[in-house]
Amino acid sequence: MDKIPLNTLTTKNPGLIEVMHNGHYLRGVPSSLVMKYGNPHSELIGLRKVIYSKFGLSEVEEEWPMWKDRQIIWHREKVSASLEYENLFKMKPMELVRSIYGIIRYDPKKMNMSSLNNHLFAQKILVCELYAIYHDMCLLDVLKLI
């Protein structure tokens, strides 16, 4: 996989710049609760399809880790661009987060609140990143909206 040199400048939103460069979406584990709640990247395929379409990409290879049968596996999938979910980008960022992820039910006696807050932040930041790219906004400006 070709890497973009760190000193490369762009006038575009830098989110997903590797995808634009080589058609490959590679992400990791954004929280320690992936085993319990799944990898937040998996719920955002529809939104990424819209981004891919908007930028003229027909297909992107996506991969990220997830748990299956108490083991880590790498989910790999070729994702085709589509505008099917474009209307979701009309929502405000926090409405979009809630509509995609819902509300996590938890027992505070059984869960580390720091881990839960990290997981919830991961969900928000991933949605905000895509929202910023779609609307050609700065990620920090989108974060002010949530």
Structural domain contains residue 12: no
Structural domain contains residue 4: no
Query: What does pTM read for this prediction?
Result: 0.87
48 neighbors 130 (Cβ within 8 angstroms): yes
Structural domain contains residue 31: yes
Q: What is the pLDDT along the chain (146 residues), one digit of tens a residue?
A: 566 566 665 555 666 878 888 899 999 887 888 888 889 999 999 999 999 999 999 999 999 999 888 899 999 999 999 999 999 999 999 999 999 998 777 777 888 889 889 999 999 999 999 999 999 998 999 999 98
Q: Please tell me the predicted confidence (pLDDT) of residue 12.
A: 59
Structural domain contains residue 60: yes
> Residue 117 is part of which domain span?
17-143
Q: Measure Cα distances from 34 to 5, 8, 31 in Å.
A: 31, 33, 6
Structural domain contains residue 2: no
Number of domains in the chain: 1
Q: Measure Cα distances from 33 to 37, 73, 116 in Å.
A: 6, 15, 7
